[in-house]
Amino acid sequence: MYKVKLIVKLKEGVLDPVGNAISSACRTLGFDNVKEVHTGKYIEFIIDANSEEKVREEVKKLAESFLVNPIIEDYFILEIKKI
């Protein structure tokens, strides 16, 4: 069994209204060092597979079939851990 952590984020150039709202809240609160904020999604899976390679294949298929919309989003695997 593997635990997989997947990050889905908006592609560069795609408007991120949530990120912008957080960014302006940071300024309001005086966190002037915060220059940019980007938001995304975090998805965690427990996958039954024999190898890490198989897990990666499975996650890629999942992402490309419906978890990620390639027109507006990118994704990457943050961590794969054998459990």
The residues of the shown chain that bind other proteins, judged by CB under 8 A, are: 10, 13-15, 17-18, 21, 41, 65-67, 69, 71-72
73-82 sheet: strands from edge to edge = 40-47, 2-10, 73-82
Closest separation in Å from C-beta 37 to other proteins: 13
* DSSP code for 17: H
Of 55 and 68, the one with the shorter C-beta distance to other proteins is: 68
Residue position matching structure tokens 């990457």: 76
Of 1 and 14, the one with the shorter C-beta distance to other proteins is: 14
Of 51 and 69, the one with the shorter C-beta distance to other proteins is: 69
Write the DSSP string, 45-68.
EEE--SSHHHHHHHHHHHIIIII-
Closest separation in Å from C-beta 51 to other proteins: 27
